[in-house]
Amino acid sequence: MHDTVTKTYRHLNFFQHECVLEVRVPRVKLPDGSVRQVTPAWAGKLSGFTLLFEAFVLLLARETTFTAAERIRGLSVHRVMSLCERYVDEVVSTADFSEVRRVAIDETSRAKGHDYVSLFADPDPDPERRRVLFVAEGREAETVGAFARNLRAHGGKPTEITSISVDMSPAFIKGLEEHFPKAQITFGKFHVIAHASEAITAMRREEQQRDPSLKGLRWVLLKDRSKLTGAQRAELDGLLSRMTTTRTARAWHYREQLRDILTRKQPTVVARLLNGWCSNARRSKVEPMKKVAEMIRSHFHGILAWVHSRQTNVTGNYAASGLRGEVAQS
């Protein structure tokens, strides 16, 4: 042994009291004359923390936001992020994507702005195998290209991906057709219904200029009926009683028809009902819903492919769910 140096390590709290270990760590002289400090087996990867303390911070970061973990552990958010990055980088460097066959793509905005982050996940039917594969800024075709390169770097092959679930972003679709030519692109129920909900909002905003009674009904119209309070259901029923005179009520009815169609599991039945729905919507006077019908027609095969696979890109169902929330707040 050459000498010792005194080091301090933040450890798990002792009851409500912050615990810091002060340790004399040996330094040894090697045969070549150089001096090296011995790293204790219980020391963490980030200077000044024990492994147990880091494990607890990682657990907090997985279950809550970086900001919440900062408050609970009394660390700066930058230290929490640095710690997570160190462990994530280590795990990612050894990740094996050779068995990935299906991919789900989703996006989220950062800090309620227009800076988007794209998430690529493995929606394996086995919950234990579901995981985030790749995260990148932007939502362009090149974002998909970056994922394809990352997939190859970890043993995966874009040509072996059989199914990819994504929203109806033209940029994403272009990137997928270029980099994953053999994959079946699917468009899930969630995003189809989301477009119909946007059409309801557009119709309500237009119609409330002539009918002030529609003001304040936004969430009543967007929520599932089963989740409405008694008072909200009464408001909705009052609106629906004016179906013949209120286009917003008809827009709501069209969305609920669409929701019912997409709960069915027989592709031939769904195809027939969707075609009928589109024909009816296009003949209606609910202009925003006509656009939804056109969107469904132009993405028809991808929607039917979803009926076959039932694969969704809503990453709230995967390991990415916590990551989406954290990205939105960063």
- What's the distance, Cα to Cα, between the start and end of the chain in Å? 46
Of 41, 66, 93, the last residue of a domain is: 93
Instruction: Give yes or no: residues 321 and 266 share one domain.
Output: no
Q: Does pTM top 0.85 for this prediction?
A: no
What is the tally of helices (H) and strands (E) in the chain? 13, 8
pLDDT at 312: 64
pLDDT at 269: 95
Q: How confident is the model at residue 258 (pLDDT cuts 50, 70, 90)?
A: very high
Instruction: Give yes or no: residues 173 and 237 share one domain.
Output: no
Instruction: Give yes or no: residues 111 and 15 share one domain.
Output: no
pLDDT at 68: 86
- What is the tally of structural domains in the chain? 3
Q: How confident is the model at residue 309 (pLDDT cuts 50, 70, 90)?
A: confident
Instruction: Give yes or no: residues 296 and 209 share one domain.
Output: yes
Q: Are 24 and 6 in contact (CB under 8 A)?
A: yes
Tokens of 320: 């990415």
pLDDT at 108: 82
Q: Determine phi and psi for 320, rounding to 5 degrees.
A: -80, -10
Cβ neighbours of residue 228 closer than 8 Å, sequence gap 6 or more: 220, 236
Instruction: Give yes or no: residues 84 and 147 share one domain.
Output: no
Residue 155's region, left for phi above 0, alpha for psi from -120 to 50, else beta, is left
Q: Are 51 and 44 in contact (CB under 8 A)?
A: yes
Q: Rounded to whole angstroms, how far apart are CA atoms 209 and 197?
A: 19
pLDDT at 150: 95
Instruction: Give yes or no: residues 198 and 269 share one domain.
Output: yes
Q: Are 258 and 193 in contact (CB under 8 A)?
A: yes
pLDDT tens track for 111-161: 665 678 999 999 887 878 888 899 999 889 999 999 999 999 999 999 999
Distances (CA, A) of 42 to 28, 48, 55: 18, 11, 11
Of 93, 119, 153, the last residue of a domain is: 93
Instruction: Give yes or no: residues 181 and 129 share one domain.
Output: yes
Instruction: Return the SS3 of 270.
Output: helix
pLDDT tens track for 15-40: 889 999 999 999 999 999 899 999 99
Q: In the predicted model, what is the mean pLDDT of residues 45-66?
A: 89
Cβ neighbours of residue 76 closer than 8 Å, sequence gap 6 or more: 70
Q: How confident is the model at residue 219 (pLDDT cuts 50, 70, 90)?
A: very high
Of 93, 128, 159, the last residue of a domain is: 93
Tokens of 261: 């169609």
pLDDT at 271 over 90: yes
What mean pLDDT is reported for the chain? 89
CATH number at residue 163: 3.30.420.40
Instruction: Give yes or no: residues 183 and 321 share one domain.
Output: yes
Instruction: Give yes or no: residues 133 and 39 share one domain.
Output: no
Q: Are 187 and 167 in contact (CB under 8 A)?
A: yes
Give me the percent of the chain exceeding a pLDDT of 70: 92
Instruction: Give yes or no: residues 179 and 263 share one domain.
Output: no
Tokens of 175: 């990137």
Instruction: Give yes or no: residues 173 and 153 share one domain.
Output: yes
Q: In the predicted model, what is the mean pLDDT of residues 174-192?
A: 93
pLDDT at 130: 85
Q: How confident is the model at residue 319 (pLDDT cuts 50, 70, 90)?
A: very low
pLDDT at 111: 60
pLDDT at 320 over 80: no
Q: Rounded to whole angstroms, how far apart are CA atoms 252 and 233?
A: 13
Give the domain range for residue 45.
3-93
pLDDT tens track for 281-303: 999 999 999 999 999 999 999 99
Instruction: Give yes or no: residues 284 and 202 share one domain.
Output: yes
pLDDT at 116: 86
Q: In the predicted model, what is the mean pLDDT of residues 296-317?
A: 79
Q: Determine phi and psi for 35, rounding to 5 degrees.
A: -110, 130
